Amino acid sequence: MKTIKQFLQYAAETLKNAGIETPVLEAGVILCHVLNCNRTYLYTHGDRVLETGELAELEVFLHKRSENVPLQYLLGEAEFMSLSFKVSPAVLIPRQDTEILVEKCIELINGNGFNGLTDECSQEKACCVSGARVLDMCTGSGCIAVSIAHYCPGSRVAACDISQEALEIARINSVRAGVEKQLEFRCGDLFEALDGREKFHIIVSNPPYIETGTVKTLERQVCDHEPYIALDGGADGLDFYRKIIYAAPGFLYKDGYLVLEIGYNQGESVGRLMENSFGSVTVLKDLGSNDRVVLGRLKK
Ligand code: GLN
């Protein structure tokens, strides 16, 4: 027999011993999830005795979390750009660092980014600010595509991924956010998923970018549980950048933007790959002051 208060203590202790960095916080989150309550309830009902069924469920969560299964997979959701996304082990958990990539795209769409549209663009009326056409390559959970659609209500976003399973999660997330009408989903290997005649104003991507040899040195929580296919960027981590940067100009309107998330040490190499086709290449930093995004505008 255990009360909420007793379980909180026991769970925090168990998680701490398993090496979880924020055991007290996570113990509370797990309890709230299983009991379907908020944190205040835990403290105002500390003496409530947990039912056998609840305890059994809590033990399963505790056990899995002790084995480093990410909390977001256990809860089945993760927060990104103040929206809630369904996640499963078929998709990478949205990272806070990726928000800067999305914020940049929103700024380009809603701000001045599309001023001075090219003839090619302005002929197509849909290309006014609200009609921006965006391509999210390697969409995974769809967190980038769905957030852009949500914060730019007039935009239309094509979300591509090689994994059908990931696309199904992305589709569910578009419905959850109420933006499904703005989204299209395409399954395939990078640009093979697209009709060769399609053009976009912005191509955005957070592709796999970890060097093959480094994947297994990532935190256990990441390398043991998140999808390998979403992490491995080839021997030097740049495979996807080469392919995307090579093909992107064919899918962009003149003056279109390519916005890529990169690893902290890839600013220079990805920037160099982009220089040929893209003028004014910029590297943006994340909140931790690491290079995180490379942005280029197609040369006229
Ligand atoms: N930023 C992720 C990590 O550190 C990797 C994401 C990616 O490869 N696109 O685990």
Q: Where are the domains positioned within the chain?
A: 4-67, 89-298
Q: Which atom of ligand 1 is least distant from the CA of 232?
A: 8
Which residues lie below 8 Å from residue 75, measured CB to CB, with a gap of 6+? 29, 33
Question: pLDDT of 72-93, one tens digit each?
Answer: 999 999 999 999 999 999 999 9
Beta strand residue intervals within 163-229, DSSP E? 183-187, 200-205
Contact of 298 with 254, CB cutoff 8 Å: yes
Q: Is the CB of 218 under 6 A from ligand 1?
A: yes
Query: In one letter, which amino acid is 87?
Result: V
Please identify, by atom number, the ligand 1 atom nearest to the C-alpha of residue 222: 10
Query: How far apart, in whole angstroms, are the C-alpha atoms of residue 62 and residue 31?
Result: 10
pLDDT category at 128 given cuts 50, 70, 90 is very low
Ligand 1 pocket member 210 (CB < 6 A): yes
Domain 4-67 architecture: Orthogonal Bundle (1.10)
Q: Which of 83-97, 102-116, 141-155, 241-255 has the lowest mean pLDDT?
A: 102-116
pLDDT number for residue 33: 97
On whether the CB atoms of residues 136 and 183 are closer than 8 A, the answer is: no
What is the per-residue pLDDT for 38? 96
CATH 3.40.50.720 is right for the domain spanning 89-298: no
262 CA → ligand 1 middle, Å: 8
Write down the ipTM of this complex. Answer: 0.89
Q: Please give the full DSSP string across 128-146, using - where no structure is assigned.
A: SGGG-EEEEES-TTSHHHH
> Over the stretch 43-71, which tens digit does the pLDDT of each residue have?
999 999 999 999 999 999 999 999 999 99
Ligand 1 centre to CA of 47 (Å) is 42
